[in-house]
């Protein structure tokens, strides 16, 4: 079976094969600026482990998903956007998922309407 990580865009960014504006990384999580920002802050937080998306995640990935959310919260604190920000996981093409490596969007720095489109 082909190794999904070889061609996966976000695995390639994590490995440094594709340039990105990195914000932080630790043993488990990598965060970088979205190339097409939808808000003044638009950061992507991804697990270093390749997981295709939320619906492919297993119970063993629970801690990693939590780490991504908490990294987003820390970045929001650093950016001083705690008045209102959103973390978003698009799940499946019908919800706009276009990269199949699980990622949390951190959006903030402007008013965010509800419900999202
Ligand atoms: P999705 O649509 O899958 O929820 O989110 C994928 C996100 O990845 C999009 O917001 C898109 O702008 C971003 N993106 C796609 N290609 C690249 C890239 O090469 N570099 C960076 N930094 N972001 C990307
Ligand atoms: Zn990947």
pLDDT at 2 over 90: no
- Whether residue 79 is contained in a domain is answered as yes
- What is the number of structural domains in the chain? 1
pTM of the complete model: 0.97
Q: What is the mean pLDDT of residues 58-82?
A: 98
Ligand 1 centre distance from Cα of residue 80 (Å): 23
- Whether residue 20 is contained in a domain is answered as yes
Tell me, what's the pLDDT at 103? 98
Ligand 2 centre distance from Cα of residue 106 (Å): 19
Q: Which residues of 48-81 are buried (b: 16+ CB within 10 A; e: fewer)?
A: bebbebbeebeeebeebbebbeebbeebbeebeb
Ligand 2 centre distance from Cα of residue 9 (Å): 6
- Whether residue 116 is contained in a domain is answered as no
Q: What is the mean pLDDT of residues 43-58?
A: 98
50: domain CATH number is 3.30.428.10
- Which two tokens mark 101? 């490596």
Residues with CB in 5 Å of ion ligand 2: 8, 10-11, 50, 101
d(CA 35, CA 32): 9
Tell me, what's the pLDDT at 30? 98
Q: Tens of pLDDT along 84-106?
A: 999 999 999 999 999 999 999 99
Range of the domain at 93: 3-108
Ligand 1 pocket test, pick from 12, 23, 33, 44 with the greatest ligand atom count within 8 Å of Cβ, gives 44
HSE on the CB side for 1, CA within 13 Å?
Answer: 3
């Amino acid at each position: 079976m082909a190794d999904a990580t070889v061609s996966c865009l976000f695995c390639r960014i994590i490995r440094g094969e594709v340039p990105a504006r990195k914000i932080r990384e630790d043993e488990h999580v990598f965060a970088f600026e979205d190339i097409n920002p939808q808000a003044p802050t638009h950061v992507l937080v991804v697990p270093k482990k390749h997981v295709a998306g939320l619906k492919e995640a297993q119970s063993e990935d629970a801690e990693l998903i939590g780490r991504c959310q908490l990294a987003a919260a820390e970045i929001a604190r650093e950016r001083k956007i705690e008045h209102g920000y959103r973390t978003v996981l698009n799940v499946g093409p019908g919800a706009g998922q276009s990269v199949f490596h699980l990622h949390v969007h951190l959006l903030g720095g402007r008013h965010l309407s509800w419900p999202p489109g």
